[in-house]
Chain A
Amino acid sequence: MASALTVLRRLYLSIYNWLVFIGWFQVLFLALKALKESGHEHVYNAVEKPLLLAQSAAVMEILHGLIGLVRSPVSSTLPQIGSRLYLTWGILWSFPEIRTHILVTSLVISWAITEIIRYSFFGMKEAFGFAPSWHLWLSRYSTFLVLYPTGISSEVGLIYFALPYIKASEKYCFRMPNKWNFSFDYFYAAILALGIYVPGSPHLYHYMLGQRKRALSKSKKE
């Protein structure tokens, strides 16, 4: 019975990974197409649907980790997915004024390339059972060297440039007085988010560098 479950698991994960891969591939394709044909101001409109879908689908990965379907620790996937969803829904979708910014282009392209590599890697592992050739494997642990800085800078930049729109709109704010003496100010929360990026990004980058070193030294031994 265990092997039937294993087959089911692999089938499900293969379908999941390849579907999301297609989503991100669409994002990259449409982004480059819009960039070439209309300019960076129109990139968001071109990619909105597949972006929202593909990025939101990542929530499934938290579930996968929790129920033990995959081995990734929830503690590392949660902040990554959290920041992605925050940018996608909390900034880009919520504040249309920021959508024409050029950093949107660098953001979606960085994200899309990273995710295309990641999902195809896992897709192949689940579907064909083996890790792809060292060439592809290397790109998984090497492209982040460029894509993390470009992606993170885009994220930080977009939050920063969206700040005036956040403050003016008063969206997602909960004010006092109320009987629970509670308040929430989305503007200050955004500033706090920026504050977290300061120690958070080098920490994450450092972690990835460590992962890369381990993975590459392991392959050297084989």
Chain B
Amino acid sequence: MKVTLVSRSGREFIKGGLELNDSATVADLQEAIHKRTKKFYPSRQRLTLPVPSGSRERPVILNYKKSLKDYCDGNENTLTIVFKDLGPQVSYRTLFFFEYLGPLILYPVFYYFPVYKYFGYEEKRVIHPVQTYALYYWCFHYFKRIMETFFIHRFSHATSPLSNVFRNCAYYWTFGSYIAYYVNHPLYTPVSDLQMKIGFGFGIVCQLANFYCHIILKNLRSPDGSGGYQIPRGFLFNIVTCANYTTEIYQWLGFNIATQTVAGYVFLVVATSIMTNWALAKHRRLKKMEGRSTPEDGLFFLHSCRTDR
């Protein structure tokens, strides 16, 4: 069949179109485009069905697994597809690895090295126990995240724009340094021993719960990444749609209860608002998909999951 490719402005994107087998899949089309254009590898391509002008509906994105025939309505021999370049892409694994590497490496720098000398303070003499435990807690957290990225999470076919690497790294690395600066500060004031134990204890419990949530989410997908758009069940997912975000948020709360810095709480607020947005979007998506059987927002912070976790 003949596939005509147009850009969003209507111009023909590949002159003369592409000739494909009648039984070809979208993935085959993506390969053909890649072969022709060299620079646009499949994960950079966004292929949609044309939307009638003036219509406000969202365009239908082609699923790489389906055959092109499924998208032809009527003329079995021709198909017009709209192409958009998503820009250079990176895999989610790459993105997450670099996001988390920053906090993992930068935080210990403030603990172990005489950084505060450059801010005008004499070399630190006293290290409070809570500062040491905070170091272990923090580094364990980001180590866990990196391990989960490589061994637990099953990602769908999706990638992320390269620009997100800079944006996300700026977010994690800046906040990581900002918090590390205050917790390891020579003039740091620790909270009571009891408060510290409650904070870290609660945080660890939430991290373990979070890990278990990730296991549940992993089992929704097969190893090749298919599946996944289902409502997670069991454990905390019976109460909240995105228990993984809930546990993550409370885990940070635990850290802040133990370390008590404005910087840490600012990070908590920002991270919570970001995750809340994700959660609401996923909750809406899942609800639309499977009708009314999603848990309702009852407890504080019920969240949807990103498609990749």
Contact = CB atoms under 8 A, between A and B. Distances in A.
Given A177-B189, A179-B191, A181-B182, 13 more contacts: A177-B187, A177-B188, A180-B261, A181-B183, A181-B185, A181-B188, A181-B189, A181-B259, A181-B260, A181-B261, A181-B262, A182-B261, A182-B262
B263 interface: yes
Interface string A168-211: 00000000111111110000000000000000000000000000
Contacts of A176: 185, 187-189
Interface in A134-182: 176-182
Contacts of A178: 189
B185 A182 contact: no
B189 A179 contact: yes
A179 B262 CA distance: 10
B257 to A, nearest CB: 13
Contacts of A183: 182
Contacts of A182: 182, 261-263
Contacts of B189: 176-179, 181
B260 A180 contact: yes
A151 B183 CA distance: 40
A179 B188 contact: no
A178 B263 CA distance: 13
A202 B191 CA distance: 45
Nearest to B191: A179
Contacts of B182: 181-183
A180 B190 CA distance: 9
A179 B261 CA distance: 8
A185 to B, nearest CB: 9
B36 to A, nearest CB: 33
Nearest to A181: B261
12 contacts: A176-B187, A176-B188, A176-B189, A180-B262, A181-B185, A181-B188, A181-B261, A181-B262, A182-B182, A182-B262, A182-B263, A183-B182
Nearest to B183: A181
Contacts of A181: 182-183, 185, 188-189, 259-263
B98 to A, nearest CB: 21
A181 B191 CA distance: 10
Most buried by A among B188, B259, B262: B262
B120 to A, nearest CB: 10
A182 to B, nearest CB: 4
Nearest to B260: A181
Contacts of B191: 179
Interface in B238-280: 259-263
Q: What are the 6 closest A-B residue pairs judged by CB atoms, nearest first? A: A182-B262, A176-B187, A181-B261, A177-B187, A177-B189, A181-B182
Interface in B137-184: 182-183
Contacts of A179: 189, 191, 260
Nearest to A176: B187
A180 B189 CA distance: 8
The CB with the most chain A CB atoms within 10 A, among B182, B183, B191, B259, is that of: B182
A189 to B, nearest CB: 13
A42 B185 CA distance: 45
Nearest to A177: B187
Nearest to B266: A182
Interface in B18-48: none
Contacts of B263: 181-182
B33 to A, nearest CB: 31
A181 B185 CA distance: 9
Nearest to B188: A181
Contacts of B259: 181
A177 B121 CA distance: 13
A178 B262 CA distance: 11
A201 to B, nearest CB: 19
Contacts of B185: 176, 181
A13 to B, nearest CB: 32
Contacts of B188: 176-177, 181
Nearest to A188: B119
A207 to B, nearest CB: 19
Contacts of A180: 260-262
A100 to B, nearest CB: 30
Nearest to A185: B119
A203 to B, nearest CB: 15
Contacts of A177: 187-189
A197 to B, nearest CB: 18
A181 B183 CA distance: 8
A179 B185 CA distance: 13
